[in-house]
Amino acid sequence: MARVIEMPSRAGLSIDDPLICHCYGVTASSILTAIDVGDAETIEEVTQLTDAGSGCGSCQCRIQRLLAGLPAECGPCALCPGCGYMKTQCLCHAA
């Protein structure tokens, strides 16, 4: 499988394109491109194309939700509104 995704700059992140993988700075749109253009059907294939999920692994639940056609945000995978990290890794404990 050829690598099709370029890593985004963190400066260009928006609420409409949430950061899915904090370790590698991979956004939802990059993962959706891997699914749509790169024909990724599994977390492993998304990881091959984007690196998402290959760091700490805590984003794999959100990658799986995107693969299933669901919104990325859910429960413990949701981002803290205070610090922007996943609620399970919240730095400000506002979650």
* CA 35 to chain centroid: 12
Amino acid at 78: A
| DSSP per-residue string spanning 45-89 | HHHHHH-TTSSSSTTHHHHHHHHTTS-S--GGGSBPTTT-SBGGG
* CA 92 to chain centroid: 21
Question: Range with the lowest mean pLDDT among 6-15, 17-26, 34-43?
Answer: 6-15
pLDDT given for residue 2 in this prediction: 56
Tell whether the model's pLDDT for residue 32 goes beyond 50: yes
pTM: 0.67
